[in-house]
Structure 1
Amino acid sequence: MPQTETDAADDRRPGEFVQSLDRGLAVIRAFSDDNDMLTLAEVAKIAGLSRASARRFLLTLETLGYVGYRQNRFYLRPRVLDLGYAFLSSSSSVEVTQDHLDKLSARIGESCSACEYDDGDIVYIARAAADRIMTIRLSVGRRLPAFCTSTGRVLLSSFTDDQLDEYFATYPRESFTAQTITDEGELRERLAEVRERGWSINNQELELGARSIAAPVADATGRFVNAVNISVPTSRVSVEQLVDEFLPELLSTTAQIGADISHLRLS
């Protein structure tokens, strides 16, 4: 069962939480695809800090080479990639997953991705891209809301009732298209269906013209390690084709990834 943010917080012992580190990371997280260059005031607002605190953190990050400054705006410098690379390079499961995604994408001629759940979102940890079908830029490290993505619903389907209660009470649900399901009751029904059948379909809920199908990667204990999806354009692949033609390939791949990861952890 995935550990939630609350679980992690409960594990903290008094005096061990370093608030300044938390705030410094919040400054880094303020930057995104949509906010790649920010003023001091914008960083402070997004990170939830005073301007004075945000300025101190930004100047420290600039001195360390993680942040740059030009035309009265701050931006992330390439050195910040070292933080993400440390995770990718130390995770043999990511390497195994990427290898299988490359092979799956080559066989079916479509884009494939692997995602993990983190704080209400899914985070892309590996991707093999074919033709570009989505206007949303997808790459390793990109975050999207879990509730309206095929991989997100797969991972949410493993949550306990208490975890789902906390999830729905904590994270907002924005409509991205007319197809996006935001109603809690309907989402719970969809998650129950995913839990029963073992896979999930997203039909234009995140972006019009794109649909996907996802399944979990489980380790030897049955715990979901991540979820893998296949993304296709609606103009070329129907929902029926996704299920009849692509689902068997997807399930075969996720089983192979799970077996390889389990073997790595036992060796």
Structure 2
Amino acid sequence: MAEPQHLAGAAGKASPGAGEEASDPNFMTSLARGLSVIRAFTEREPNLTIADIAKITGLPRAAARRCLLTLMQLGYAGSDGRTFHLKPKILALGYSFLSSAPLATILDPLIEQVSGAVQESCSAAVLDEDDVVYIARAATKRIMSVGLNVGSRLPAYCTSMGRVLLAALPESELDAYLSRVPLKPYTERTITAVDALKRELERVRDRGFSLVDQELELGLRSIAVPIHTAAGGVVAAMNISAQAARVTCPEMEVQFLPHLHRASEEARVLLVRSRGV
């Protein structure tokens, strides 16, 4: 399956506005620049030159060079003399989140359980900026042309987990999202009209789940449910993805949705026990 060009950098794009100075006196520009450099590296582009980093992040070449050399001195990056790459030590940054976040800790075994029961890939994600970010994943097969792992990012508007999370936003936050995010077509099925997307999100709220049929990638279907707190808020989403040739949309609702609902309810109970949410 050929990889859509739109997805090429979806798993690790740099922060928008990374090269801009912040007016907040508490804002550390050097730290923000360093983080934008780290996020420039992706699965498709694991080796980058200083010029590459500067282009991706919007930083001056001199600033990109200083960030890279600092990361090298700290053991987070390496170089062959021309290009730079991240080193395994960088995983410690993500592990700090996973080991301290009860949400990820709770969802991981539930994701494995659901994936084992249906023999399909299962994931959990949260909304971060304008994307969904994967915080747990159990993959049985590589069903997408882009490899997905914990930390991967995908657009919210055309993914099942993203729509579940967008549907839970207050109206003002959803309107702000729709006003700033271009609804680009990933396939000919992608909803790109704001009014149509709003109607679909209303449908998601009414039904309590989202089913996306080949809008992110042809041949891929996904169904997702929200994960609630005791107070009713939505803190994450959980989905099952499958090849369209193997399962129809109605079959996904019948075969997969009950497993997702049970796991979501178990996650809600465990979250209450762990932190009284």
TM-score (structure 1 length as normaliser): 0.92
Q: Confirm or deny that 1:234 pairs with 2:244.
A: yes
Deviation at 1:154, TM superposition (A): 0.2
- Aligned partner of residue 65 in structure 1, secondary structure: coil
Query: Which of 92, 96, 103 is the matching residue for 2:102?
Result: 92
Gaps of 5+ in 2: 1-14, 16-21
Match of 1:169 in 2: 179
- Runs of 4+ off more than 6 Å: none
Specify the SS of the correspondent of 1:117.
strand
SS of aligned partner of 2:26: coil
Residue deviations 1:230-254, cap 9 Å, x none? 1111111110101122111111111
CA deviation profile, 1:23-65 (whole Å, cap 9, x unmatched): 1111111111222111111101111111111111111111111
d(CA) in 2 for partners of 1:88, 1:35? 24
Gaps of 5+ in 1: 6-11
Whole-angstrom distance in 2 between the partners of 1:76 and 1:169 = 35
The SS at the match of 2:45 is coil
Please state if 1:144 is matched with 2:137. no
Partner residue in 2 for 1:74: 84
What CA distance in whole angstroms lies between the structure 1 residues aligned with 2:55 and 2:141?
A: 37
3-state SS of 1:100 partner: helix
Q: Secondary structure at the match of 2:256?
A: helix
Count, aligned residues:
257
1:215 to 225, 244, 250: 225
Question: Are 1:260 and 2:270 counterparts?
Answer: yes
Normalising to structure 2: TM-score of the pair?
A: 0.89
Aligned equivalents of 2:238, 2:23: Cα separation in 1:
35
CA distance in 2, matches of 1:35, 1:176: 20
Tell me the equivalent position of 1:27: 37
Shift of 1:161: 1.8
Match of 2:209 among 199, 209, 212: 199
**Does 2:193 align with 1:183?**
yes
Counterpart of 2:73 in structure 1 is 63
Percent identity (aligned): 45
Task: Tell me the distance in 2 between the aligned counterparts of 1:70 and 1:218.
Answer: 47
Within-5 A mapping of 1:104-183: 104-183=114-193
Out of 8, 27, 37, the position equivalent to 1:17 is 27
SS at match of 1:37: coil
AA in 1 matched with 2:130: G
Q: Distance in 1 between matches of 2:153 and 2:192?
A: 18
